[in-house]
């Protein structure tokens, strides 16, 4: 009997081990199948972002929506090669996973299959020498270095990662999203500026009954009529149409129709907003009775005769000015901050060499209005958008090309001009074709720009028109800020001025990265037409320290016309709004400041103080410069900063 029980016990033990091995193998096979289907886990995250409609401008600002599940940014001590340090950490964690659990059976089963499914290194980046290394260690030639890894790991694996003596900090990786409004929709229909003024027509069969009834009430016979809408540019816009009247004409002869009393069959805007919306629509909105009517002017030649602000002639180190070419359009933002004054713009090509890195969705290198000088890809393309790629010279989303045009569209007698016309644009692509990327890729791009290759490329300014949500009340907020902002501090120490979108969520800047980083200029948005802060713009919540306020500036962000990729729109130009559009205004001003020699401080952050001083100088010269919610405003609890001035 004892002999049979002994054999039965051995049999149960074997079955238990076999079962555990099968479970582990099944899990391993599932992971391999997932990799085969999706390529990498990072690609899976990209698909997830598409499937759950986490597109840049439509996603909620919630912190949980920003977290990339099972993906972490890890800082480890590394006295040598970063890749070697990463391998050592992974081996340590896998060994701990093999021996974890209860009993020899679990250990034996775990030993049969390496727990690759529990931890994977997605990326290794080598940081600069740690700031707290100390002189003694440096003198000894054994300065500790901090390597930054991006890991995909299970909760069990992360317990061992956090417990490792090699690890200095662990934070969750996050989605970053472009901060533009209106880009997720297809490009609305457009017409030429002359057609807007002469009239856009629709046959009676294509309009809804309320309009036909309104003309019939006037005494007009519209049985064989077509309706013609005329309009003008919306206030503060060089693209959006505001229709002001609609007339009935003969659909065969185009002759104006008249009532039985001889009056023209014509309706104009009146005092009733709902009737106006029905008959004429609003800015960027077609009339209810004719939903397909174009609401914008195609291209950049919208009949804008604006020659720039009146301005004042700055003294000191400034760029030589050249005439604005006759066929150039001056966008409202460029005019407002006085980058174009009295028919002239600064010639940045005659100053010190400056290149602006656009960390974004790529830049259309074939756009004739841009001085594209190079690029590097960091993004994993979206599998949800056919043709998406990591090519930095390609921009299916269109956002990066729009940002680049605000920074430096050429003064070449066609299209429009940017803040620093003709400045070199270097594309660092981290957003996919849906405007979504990762915070770790943004850090990687900035670190590269601050390194030897980026400096050799001449990068002196970085623009990031994107944001990732973080929770200032979370236990890991300080660690997240310290680890992420270290990359931007290194860029500043390399002499690079960094500008970032404050965010479009009407919330405190402290909850969004990289705008919350101390060495980054957090750019809020103001509305040129309203002369006030944009309704969507983030802000710095009061109370705030002088140092925090010193990192916040404002620029135009509503209805900004700029270049866009031809893959996104055939005309090559489009009007967008957002803090995404505000930030590159400051990047362009920073480029001009460096090119002129006025921004000659050793760090980027110190040079940002030069921009702040110039904004205050302009307010001193002309108190009307600025807007109603700028830094002079008190008692609102919201600090938006001063309007940047293109002094150079």
Helix (H) or strand (E) holding 31: helix 2-38
| Known catalytic membership, residue 187 | no
| Known catalytic membership, residue 237 | no
Calculate Rg over the CA atoms of the chain: 29
CB 21 within 8 A of CB 115: no
The torsion region of residue 228 among left (phi > 0), alpha (psi -120 to 50) and beta comes to: beta
Angle between helices 82-99 and 103-112 (to 10 degrees): 140
How far is residue 307 from each of residues 318, 319, 386, measured CA to CA in Å?
20, 18, 41
Burial status of residue 40 (CB atoms within 10 A of its CB: 0-12, 13-18, 19 or more)? middle
73 has which bridge partners? 150, 171
Among the listed residues 118, 173, 360, 364, the single catalytic one is 360
Q: Which residues contact 391 (CB under 8 A, 6 or more apart)?
A: 362, 375, 377, 429
First-to-last C-alpha distance (Å) of the chain? 98
Dihedral pair phi/psi, residue 395, rounded to 5° = -140, 85
Instruction: State the pairing for strand pair 521-527/552-556.
Output: parallel
**How far, in Å, CA of 126 to CA of 83, rounded?**
9
Structure tokens at 316: 């000191």
Q: DSSP states of 587-606 as a string?
A: HHHHHHHHHHTS---SSHHH
Residues belonging to the chain: 648
Structure tokens at 467: 């944001």
SS3 sequence of 353-375: CCEEEEEECCCCCCCCCCCEEEE
**How far, in Å, CA of 458 to CA of 463, rounded?**
14
CB 379 within 8 A of CB 450: no
CB 79 within 8 A of CB 145: yes
Among the listed residues 580, 583, 596, 608, the single catalytic one is 580
The torsion region of residue 339 among left (phi > 0), alpha (psi -120 to 50) and beta comes to: alpha
Q: How many CB atoms lie within 10 A of CB 457?
A: 18
SS3 sequence of 193-230: HHHHHHCEEEEHHHCCHHHHHHHHHHCCCCCCEEEEEE
**How far, in Å, CA of 220 to CA of 200, rounded?**
20
| Known catalytic membership, residue 580 | yes
Among the listed residues 45, 367, 399, 585, the single catalytic one is 399
Q: How many CB atoms lie within 10 A of CB 242?
A: 19
CA torsion, points 177, 178, 180, 181, in degrees to nearest 10?
Answer: -30
Structure tokens at 412: 């070449």
- Catalytic sites, residue numbers: 360, 399, 580
């Amino acid at each position: 009997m004892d002999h049979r029980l002994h054999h039965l016990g051995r049999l149960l033990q074997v079955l238990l081990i076999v079962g555990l091995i099968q479970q582990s193998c099944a899990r391993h096979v599932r992971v391999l199948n997932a990799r085969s289907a999706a390529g990498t886990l990072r690609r899976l995250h990209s698909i997830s972002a598409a499937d759950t409609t986490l597109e840049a401008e439509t996603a909620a600002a919630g912190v949980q929506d920003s977290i990339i599940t099972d993906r972490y940014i890890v800082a480890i001590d590394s006295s040598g090669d970063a890749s070697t340090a990463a391998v050592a950490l992974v081996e340590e964690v896998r060994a701990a996973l093999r021996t974890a659990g209860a009993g020899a059976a679990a250990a034996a089963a775990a030993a049969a299959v390496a727990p690759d499914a529990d931890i994977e290194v997605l990326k290794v980046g080598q940081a600069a020498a740690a700031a707290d290394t100390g002189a003694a260690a440096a003198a000894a030639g054994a300065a500790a270095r901090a390597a930054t890894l991006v890991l995909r790991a299970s909760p069990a694996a992360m317990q061992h990662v956090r417990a490792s003596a090699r690890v200095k900090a662990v934070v969750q990786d996050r989605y970053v999203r472009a901060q533009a409004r209106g880009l997720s929709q297809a490009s609305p229909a457009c017409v030429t500026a002359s057609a807007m003024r002469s009239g856009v027509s629709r046959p009676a069969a294509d309009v809804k009954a309320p309009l036909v009834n309104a003309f019939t009430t006037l005494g007009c016979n519209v049985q064989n009529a077509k309706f013609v809408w005329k309009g003008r540019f919306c206030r503060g816009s060089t693209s959006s149409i505001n229709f002001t009247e609609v007339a009935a004409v003969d659909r065969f002869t185009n002759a104006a129709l008249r009532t039985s009393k001889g009056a023209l069959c014509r309706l104009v805007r009146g005092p009733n907003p709902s009737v106006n919306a029905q008959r004429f629509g609003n800015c960027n909105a077609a009339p209810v009775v004719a939903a397909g009517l174009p609401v914008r002017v195609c291209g950049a030649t919208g009949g804008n005769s604006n020659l720039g602000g009146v301005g004042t002639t700055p003294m000191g180190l400034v760029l030589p000015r050249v005439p604005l070419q006759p066929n150039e359009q001056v966008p409202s933002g460029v005019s407002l901050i006085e980058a174009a004054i009295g028919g002239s713009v600064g010639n940045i090509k005659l100053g010190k060499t400056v290149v602006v890195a656009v960390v974004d969705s790529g830049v259309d290198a074939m756009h004739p209005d841009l001085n594209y000088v190079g690029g590097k890809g960091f993004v994993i393309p979206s599998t949800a958008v056919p043709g998406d790629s990591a090519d930095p010279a390609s921009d299916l989303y269109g956002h990066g090309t729009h940002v680049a045009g605000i920074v430096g569209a050429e003064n070449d007698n066609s299209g429009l001009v940017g803040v620093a016309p003709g400045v070199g644009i270097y594309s660092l692509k981290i957003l996919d074709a849906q405007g979504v990327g990762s915070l770790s890729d943004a850090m990687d791009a900035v670190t590269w720009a601050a390194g030897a290759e980026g400096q050799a490329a001449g990068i002196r300014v970085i623009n990031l028109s994107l944001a990732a949500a973080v929770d200032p009340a979370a236990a890991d907020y300080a660690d997240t800020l310290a680890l992420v902002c270290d990359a931007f501090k290194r860029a500043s120490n390399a002499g690079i001025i960094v500008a970032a979108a404050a965010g479009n969520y009407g919330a405190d800047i402290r909850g969004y990265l990289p705008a919350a980083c101390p060495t980054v200029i957090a750019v809020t948005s103001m509305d040129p037409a309203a002369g006030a802060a944009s309704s969507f713009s983030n802000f710095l919540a009061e109370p705030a320290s002088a140092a925090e306020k010193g990192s916040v500036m404002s620029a135009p962000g509503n209805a900004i016309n700029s270049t866009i990729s031809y893959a996104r729109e055939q005309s090559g130009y489009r009007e967008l709004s957002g803090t995404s559009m505000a930030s590159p205004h400051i990047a362009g001003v920073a480029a001009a400041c460096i090119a002129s020699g006025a921004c000659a401080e050793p760090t980027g952050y110190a040079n940002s103080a030069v921009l702040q001083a110039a904004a205050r100088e302009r307010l001193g010269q002309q108190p009307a410069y600025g807007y109603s919610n700028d830094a002079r405003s008190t008692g609102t609890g919201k600090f938006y900063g001063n309007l940047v001035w293109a002094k150079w």
